[in-house]
Amino acid sequence: MKALFIFTLLFFATCSAYAQVDTTSYPKERQEIRQILRNQKPGTLTDCGDMIAVGPKGDISFSHQQWVEAQKREKLVFKSVRPVPGNEFIRIYDGTTAVINLLINVSLVVDGRDVNIKVRRLEIYHKSADGWCRVAGQGTLVDEELFPVNSR
């Protein structure tokens, strides 16, 4: 009987130690992030100063300024960035870190040519006293001929 009690106690202790972190709560923070994502416009600064961005060629920028310079080198100008409704997945950790995976419609000019693409983005935001800012971001071009996107 004593062994059964100890086993049961250890079982429940082990299960609670492996419990998943709650990342789906924080409704206020989730709404703040949704507002940032939906209000992105060219020239709007949502990046932290030490943001890391990976460009379409795999190039890495270690600050917002480096990212802007890389865009100029590639003759790339963003016209609009719009999230595809139903394709925003937000996880909030401790109310101060947000990990977002979203699908966006991007309209841009590349070397004088208009381009419209869909991009799957992974972005990480941090909340400080000044509000939310993006600390990292990377996108993958969605090839809709090979992998059509089904909006929900």
Q: What is the pLDDT of residues 87-98, one digit of tens each?
A: 999 999 999 999
CATH topology for 23-141? Nuclear Transport Factor 2; Chain: A, (3.10.450)
pLDDT of residue 60: 92
Which pTM value belongs to this model? 0.76
Mean pLDDT of the chain: 83
b/e per residue, 47-68, with b = 16+ CB within 10 A? Answer: bbeebbbbbeeeeebeebeebe
